[in-house]
Amino acid sequence: MTRDQTGPGPMTCPFCGPRDASEFRYGGDPSVARPGPGCSDADWAAYLYLRDSPRGPAREYRVHAQGCGQWLVAERDTVTHLVGTITEATP
Amino acid sequence: MTARKPRYSALALLREGLRGQRGWTPAWHSPEPKRRYDAVIIGGGGHGLSAAYHLAKDHGITNVAVIEKAWLGGGNTGRNTTIIRSNYFNRASQDIYDASVNIYEGLSRELNYNIMFSQRGSIELAHSAAEMEGLRRVVNAMQVSGIESSLLSRDEVLAMVPLLNPSPDCRWPVVGAAIQRRAGVARHDAVAWGYARAADGMGVDIIQSCDVTGFRIEGGRVKAVETSRGVIEAEVFGMAVAGASPELARLAGFQLPLLCVTLQAMVSEPLKPCLHHVVASTPNGAYVSQSDKGELVIGGGLEPVPSFARRGDLRKTAEVIASVVEMFPAFSTLKLMRQWGGTVDTSPDNSPILGPSPVPNLYLNCGWGTGGFKAVPIGGKMLAHLMATGRHHRLSAPFGLERFESGRLIDEAHAGVAHD
Amino acid sequence: MTGPSRIAGGGEPLPFTFAGRRLIGQKGDSIASALLANGIVTVGRSFKYRRPRGILSAGEDEPNAIVDVVLNGVRVPNVRATTQGLEAGMAISPVLGRGAALLTQALSPFIASGFYYKTFLWPHWGLFEPAIRRMAGLGRVDPDSRMVAEPGGNLAADLCVVGGGRSGLLAATKAATSGQRVLLVEQRAELGGSSLWRDGGDSVDLVAAARDAGVTIWTGATAFGAYENGRLGIHRQGAGLADGGSLWAVQAGQVVLATGALERPLLFERNDLPGVMLADAALHYLRRRGVLCGARPVIATNNDSVYPVALVLAKAGAVVTLVDSRAASERSADAAAKGIRVLTGARVARALGRGRVSGVMLTDGTGIDADLLAVSGGWTPTLHLYCQAGGKAVWDDERAILVPAFPVPGISLAGRAAGNWFAPDALPWVWSAAPEIPVAGKSRKTWIDLQNDVTLGDVQLAAQENFTSVEHLKRYTTLGMATDQGKTANLLGAAAMAQATGRSATDLGLTTYRPPYTPVPMAALQGLSRGPLQSPLRRLAAEPAHREMGAALWDYGGLLRPAFYGKDEASIATECLAARQGAVVFDASSLGKVAVMGPKARELLDFLFTGRMSTLQPGRIRYGLTLNEAGVVTDDGVVLCLGPDHFLVSCSSSHVGGFVASAEEWRQTRFGRDGVFIHDRTAHWATMSLSGPKSKPLLAGLGIVETLDDAAFPHMSFVMGRFMGGEARVSRVSFTGERGYEISVPAGLAIPLWQALIGAGAKPCGIEALGVLRAEKGFIYVGQDTDGETMPQDLGFDAPRLKRREGFVGDRALQLPVAGDADRKQLVGLARADGGVIPAGAHLIEGAPRRSIGFVTSSHHSPTLRRGIALALVEGGRARIGQEVTWFDLGQTGRATVTAACAYDPEGSRLNV
């Protein structure tokens, strides 16, 4: 058996394949949209700070920071940490 | 204040020793929930129990229920690394945390329960001249506010903490430190138990194994909470549910500016006294103290990924241990005995959220991040004040939810490593 | 006196000492077996009452035999004697001596569980705590001892089998035969598990089969934790006491737990007396180590698993009495027929003896002479890893064992861990039984947690005081919190609580199983992350050249850079003056060089910076700030326009990673990957920054660029040139306020460029002098001269908030109420009338009671101005310019005048000198 620096990890990057979860930095909630210039203070605060923080299934930005550097959208359960589909993030 | 409870004392121990411990009574009761209370506090951790105690003691409101999902004190109150300190940068933070330390100093006698607040002093290390300047900024901020804190030279630190690596060439050389001598550690479970016993003694119902499943909101106000043990009505509600705040807020129909993440904690096997102070290192994000039982209590490894898993993580644990051993090379001969994780609510400015929620008669106590334990006495007192009067206490006023709209955050990135 | 003695042996003798006594063990011994072989029964004292304690077990469940060991000058505390191999020369001592044993035992009626919560209240805990602390704790740390580890790593396998007994070997072989990559880990040094000492099948053939099938086998390796996604934490033991071994993270597709089961003790009065031992351990010591633990053993049981033990002990010459709490059975008759004295329907009431077992009193009053009391209260399958992985262990009344409540994907159980223990013979085989909680007898003399001195009485007291949840029980009494983590105590404690509260054991959960299963050496957890390999410092390509010139190299945020050149900090002033009067060079290679290119490059840069970059022409350079969405300044830097769609962002050294991350985030989530590309070239280029009034002629002499004519090559522009055959880019920027040229060449040419500049007469300049020079000019270091609240307007940049207003990161935040507060902290300078230096970190105060109105962010003695200069963030600072303020530093106060941030050459004329 050989030393395997990556191994079949729990997260599969659409660009790099299966990798360890620790390679993927958390990048926030992709459902939050940046409001336009005319928005209210409350809208801006909501955009900046208010989060759903789901307990259980969640969609989240992940950056493959120690890999290809791509921003991804991952389905992940915040209790079990089991990961579902991971796709490329797009504007 | 704890009229219905027999007093604990050396004499009581003697008496009970002589009669085979038969006379001790329950520290608290396990009542069935009533259908209606004047006030209901959700969360039977330190903050919730402290709030119940203060509702009774400060405001004479005793028809109170504390609703706890599992067992009291079982959340972050029973999972943290027990550090109590007030070395913060902003005046608002200094005021509230120092008020907490002040209460802690007399808490054992106030509650008639030894919470073992041990003011061993908390040392924050600097490993470079720049870090030393940063510590000076904080120490001066505290001294200006009249809060005890001082700087230590390298030699002073090494004399106080002889197991630190003294080599100037090691990875984390000791350049100096800041110390708050009044800071220390306490027995975390005892804080919850002491408040629970005292609150119970004043008539508060502590209802364990009772999960809140929903809010009944009528006319924009909370009328009742739906729980696994029935519907419970009240005039006013408070929530102190670190690690579950977003979930509860969702049930009540609003969102909070919180990210729930896991903080790692761990202990070594017990040792004869070898470390007197609480020692923290900012760049390492690691901190260590020795418990009265002799275990080294180590924390750190906060990873900004949403998680409610409350479990230890091997990689983070290894990282934290690696930096602690690097600073204390003799600790390489020790063994890690137990590790776990706790879910903390982190707020954008590392400061708590205290005040009204978007639902008028539901009040918030959340967002303490890694530092909630040190604030248990004051956090509960503030929540009680809000619930009883409907208004902010002077100390809680800066910490309302509205600060996120005005932008007037209380940025405590300066408070150094979050070591609790 | 009889007791344990070695009856078979002959291994290589190993000398060691125990509590100062010189003894001889033999190769293959554990510390525990060596002690037993020498007739030593008492190996330490309990934690709270300092009662004498003997060896209970032969494995990782040992609560009592915890010792400190010194070998070759290295002291290792809290060594578990039952699992640590004996080495020649070990000096072994109990972690707890007698201490004030008489006192603590006399006090014991008064210091039941939780007593400390009820006293020491007055005057305060601090008065009593030191004495309590001295009493507490186990082993001693030696300040000079070190343990080192070997490199560990990550490993992937299709299957990981935990436990190298018969079932583990079978499972591993089967999987490996079908082509899977299988790792088998066994915590003991040998494979075979309990088959090494219990009858019921040899394992030699199974080991051979596993090896033949290609199973990777690690002995001396403990799977101590089950982490996410089937990942196991595995500790491989080192070669000896002071070898920390190695840490492995094993990612396995499937995990089979063949972890066996641990025997439970029985509850009776004085069950903590040395000489009380688990029956399986007695068998283990005899079969594995040749040590007969007693000549006249009483074996007490509630199950069948001790019958084979009794027969083996008797065969070895012991006079065995078997006390079975159950009615007579075929098996008891069989044992009696084989010459064992069997008392059925009998229970032990109390262990007798002073300091060690000399007899047993049964509940019917019968006394039996004995030198060993071997007990078996049933067995508990080892489900720790299953529970850590998210499972839940529940009590199975029928089989009287713990079983998994539900399956956990990826984890299966085998052998005794799965509740399977096949009968060793044809007779009915009942190998476990429910714990019996004695109702008569002294509950305060009936131990449950031996190390932490938690008695049955303590559990009953906890129930009486309503600490009835198992977690409260654990925390109130400390049950299960000792170094053995309650392996023998937890289930008995839960059962005792169930009985005390009138619940059935089935209702009662167990406390959360937390990793590690057995304590893991911190050295192994540290692994190679030690010394310079821990958070390795980044280094400059020209570091050897700096060293050659006598640079003091300091750690600046993880980057090792020259602080100053010379033997002490006095050179800083010299370097400052050289920059103002001649020409200096400092190594600016770590400054960011992040390329932003493509048709949308201008659009992205306009969004990232508070100022517009889209109007920048090729060859030109512009200064800018970046913000976060809260409007707080995150960095400052300059942008070079290399071509119409090609820019280079030079951010500050410590913010390169942050800038690139932020730029990529916006690129990928807002602008799209196609229109713009970001490439961090920081490490590709070495940059030397030449500064000072004499820099122009000095640079001219090197011929890197064709012309240095100021009209063609003005400040904030750059030209391309050549250096040693490589491309060179020369920018006119200034960090010092003097005329400056920043020369960038491929990183491989860092040293030649440095040497060329020094050779041409430039003096070296370190980061410390640069810090003074830029502070004189009021140039900020973001993060030092700004904090988590600083917005552009606080630094004097009003345009983003008042003019540009939108279209950049953080734009809307600059319009929030907070952005217009009158008491915002603004960047200003400070000057003392006496020219002295105000310490950096000092605060500015006003009012009574005093309050802070700001703080000094940078402060130096300026060799050029010959006075102290300081930058500070002060509430409404700009309006205070010209006013006097009071500063405060560690109790000292003084007065200073608020000035503009720039203290030197405010007109900027030096740029073109």
SS (H, E, C) C808-824: CCCCHHHHCHHHHCCCC
DSSP C708-727: --TTTS-TTBEEEEEETTEE
Of C431, C430, C428, C425, the closest CA to residue C201 belongs to: C425
Distance CA B284, CA B418 (A): 11
Q: What is the per-residue pLDDT across B267-297, written as a single tens digit (0 to 9) for each?
A: 999 999 999 999 999 778 899 999 999 999 9
Nearest to A5 among C154, C216, C665 (CB): C154
Angle, in degrees to the nearest 10, between helices B376-389 and B188-201: 30
In this structure, whether the domain defined by B122-185+260-346 belongs to CATH 3.30.360.10 is answered with: no
Q: What is the CA radius of gyration of chain B?
A: 21
Q: What is the per-residue pLDDT across B198-249, written as a single tens digit (0 to 9) for each?
A: 999 999 999 999 999 999 999 999 999 999 999 999 999 999 999 999 999 9
Tokens of B185: 């550690």
Distance CA C488, CA C264 (A): 6
Contact C739, C912 (CB under 8 A): yes
Q: Do C156 and A4 touch (CB under 8 A)?
A: yes
Contact B363, B319 (CB under 8 A): no
Q: Do C664 and A7 touch (CB under 8 A)?
A: no
Angle, in degrees to the nearest 10, between helices B91-111 and B188-201: 70
Chain C touched by B137 (CB under 8 Å): yes
> Is A39 inside any structural domain?
yes
Contact B198, B5 (CB under 8 A): yes
Q: Is C738 left (phi over 0), alpha (psi -120 to 50) or beta?
A: beta
Chain C touched by B71 (CB under 8 Å): yes
Chain A touched by B305 (CB under 8 Å): yes
Q: Do C788 and B74 touch (CB under 8 A)?
A: no
Q: Which domains does chain C have, with CATH numbers?
A: 5-110 (3.10.20.440), 148-262+380-425 (3.50.50.60), 437-510 (1.10.10.1100), 543-590+684-773 (3.30.1360.120), 594-680 (3.30.70.1400), 780-912 (2.40.30.110)
User: In angstroms, what separates the C-alpha of C805 from chain A's closest C-alpha?
Assistant: 9
Distance CA C267, CA B314 (A): 37
Q: Do B334 and C472 touch (CB under 8 A)?
A: no
Angle, in degrees to the nearest 10, between helices C490-500 and C456-464: 50
> Is A1 inside any structural domain?
no
**Which chain C residues in 198-257 lie under 8 Å from chain A, judged by CB atoms?**
216, 228-229, 251, 253
> Is A5 inside any structural domain?
no
Distance CA C885, CA C850 (A): 12
> Is A42 inside any structural domain?
yes
Give the pairing of strands C718-723 and C726-731: antiparallel
* Contacting residues for C817 by C-beta, under 8 A, at least 6 apart: A41, B406, B407, B408
Q: Do A82 and C154 touch (CB under 8 A)?
A: no
Contact C306, C22 (CB under 8 A): no
Q: Could you report the average pLDDT of every consecutive run of 10 residues in chain C (913 residues)? A: 82 96 97 97 92 96 97 97 97 88 84 90 87 90 95 93 97 98 97 91 90 98 90 95 95 95 97 98 97 97 97 97 97 96 97 96 97 97 94 92 93 96 92 93 95 96 95 95 94 94 77 91 95 93 98 93 96 98 97 97 98 96 97 97 97 95 96 95 97 97 94 96 96 96 97 98 98 97 94 97 96 96 97 97 96 97 98 98 98 97 96 88
* Contacting residues for C502 by C-beta, under 8 A, at least 6 apart: none
Alpha-helix runs per DSSP H in C564-703: 571-581, 601-608, 656-666, 695-700
Nearest to A49 among B244, B315, B348 (CB): B348
Distance CA A70, CA A14 (A): 9
| Confidence tier at A9 by pLDDT (50, 70, 90) | low
pLDDT at A6: 37
> What is the domain partition of chain B in residue ranges?
10-18+28-114+187-257+349-415, 122-185+260-346
Chain A touched by C568 (CB under 8 Å): no
Chain C touched by B136 (CB under 8 Å): yes
Q: Where are the beta strands (DSSP E) in C495-569?
A: 520-521, 551-556, 559-565
Residue of A nearest to C658 (CA): A65
Q: What CATH number does the domain containing A56 carry?
A: 3.30.2270.10
Q: Do C525 and B322 touch (CB under 8 A)?
A: yes
Contact B144, C886 (CB under 8 A): no
Q: Do A51 and B255 touch (CB under 8 A)?
A: yes
Q: Do B405 and A42 touch (CB under 8 A)?
A: yes
Question: How many domains, in total, are found in chain A?
Answer: 1
Q: Do B114 and C227 touch (CB under 8 A)?
A: no
Q: What is the per-residue pLDDT across B330-388, written as a single tens digit (0 to 9) for each?
A: 999 999 999 999 999 999 999 999 999 999 999 999 999 999 999 999 999 999 999 99
Range of the domain at A22: 11-88
Q: Is B121 left (phi over 0), alpha (psi -120 to 50) or beta?
A: left
Q: Do A52 and B255 touch (CB under 8 A)?
A: yes
pLDDT at C508: 67
| Confidence tier at B414 by pLDDT (50, 70, 90) | low
Chain B touched by A80 (CB under 8 Å): yes
Chain B touched by C251 (CB under 8 Å): no
Nearest to B140 among C111, C124, C843 (CB): C843
Q: Do C522 and B270 touch (CB under 8 A)?
A: no
Instruction: Give the strand order in the sheet containing C341-344.
Output: C276-278, C372-376, C297-301, C321-324, C341-344
The mean pLDDT value of chain B amounts to: 94
Q: Do B244 and A55 touch (CB under 8 A)?
A: yes
SS3 C460: helix
Contact B90, B412 (CB under 8 A): yes
Chains that touch C (3 or more CB pairs under 8 A): A, B
Instruction: Write out chain B residues lying below 8 Å of A45, CB-based.
Output: 257, 404-405
Q: Do A45 and B404 touch (CB under 8 A)?
A: yes
Chains that touch B (3 or more CB pairs under 8 A): A, C
Complex ipTM more than 0.90, yes or no: yes
Tokens of B27: 């520290």
3-class SS shares of chain B: helix, strand, coil, % to 5: 35, 25, 40
Give the pairing of strands C763-764 and C584-587: parallel
Of B348, B352, B339, B265, the closest CA to residue B302 belongs to: B265
Distance CA B139, CA C466 (A): 44
DSSP C317-361: T---EEEESSPP-HHHHHHHHTT-EEEET--EEEEE-SSS--EEE
**Which chain A residues in 29-88 lie under 8 Å from chain C, judged by CB atoms?**
30, 34-35, 37, 39, 41, 44, 47-48, 61, 63, 65, 69-71, 80-82
Of B41, B118, B76, B151, the closest CA to residue B376 belongs to: B76
> Is A4 inside any structural domain?
no
Chain C touched by A3 (CB under 8 Å): yes
User: In angstroms, what separates the C-alpha of A69 from chain B's closest C-alpha?
Assistant: 17
Give the CATH number of domain B10-18+28-114+187-257+349-415; options: 3.30.70.20, 3.40.50.300, 3.50.50.60, 2.40.10.10. 3.50.50.60
- Phi/psi of residue C314, each to 5°? -65, -40
Distance CA C781, CA B322 (A): 31
Contact B112, B7 (CB under 8 A): yes
DSSP B291-328: -TTS-EEEEE----S--------HHHHHHHHHHHHHHS
> Is A72 inside any structural domain?
yes
User: In angstroms, what separates the C-alpha of C807 from chain A's closest C-alpha?
Assistant: 8
pTM score, whole prediction: 0.96
Q: Do B405 and A41 touch (CB under 8 A)?
A: yes
In a mutational test of the B interface, the residue from A43, A47, A50, A53 whose CB has the highest number of chain B CBs within 10 Å is A53
Q: Is C217 left (phi over 0), alpha (psi -120 to 50) or beta?
A: beta
Tokens of A26: 């958390």
Does the CA dihedral B185-B186-B191-B193 come out positive or negative?
positive
pLDDT at C1: 52
Q: Do C629 and A48 touch (CB under 8 A)?
A: yes
